[in-house]
Homo-oligomer: A and B are copies of this chain.
Amino acid sequence: MTAQLKVGKRILHLRNDLGLSQEKLALKADIDRTYLTGVENGKRNISIKNIEKICKALEISLKDFFNDNLFDLN
């Protein structure tokens, strides 16, 4: 699984946990909704700035975001 897809899956999981729609998360993170859709589908090679924006909107630190088995092995 690509790193992009792992990040996408993690965002989707956290977003659902918070009961947020893509639209609401995109608004909160100040990113384009269609971009967020692409990120969640693993289609976007997302930058660290945008990962941080999404983490802030999900109210999670970068440390906790990547603290998941998805990111165990390279």
Contacts and interface: CB of A to CB of B under 8 A. Distances in A.
Nearest to A39: B48
How many copies are assembled?
2
Contact of A62 (B52, B55, B61, B74): B74
Interface in A1-40: 2-4, 6-7
Contacts of A71: 61-63, 66
A33 B44 CA distance: 24
Contacts of A63: 66-69, 71-72
B74 A52 contact: yes
Max chain B Cβ within 10 angstroms of own Cβ: one of A45, A46, A48, A71: A48
Contact of A55 (B46, B61, B69, B74): B74
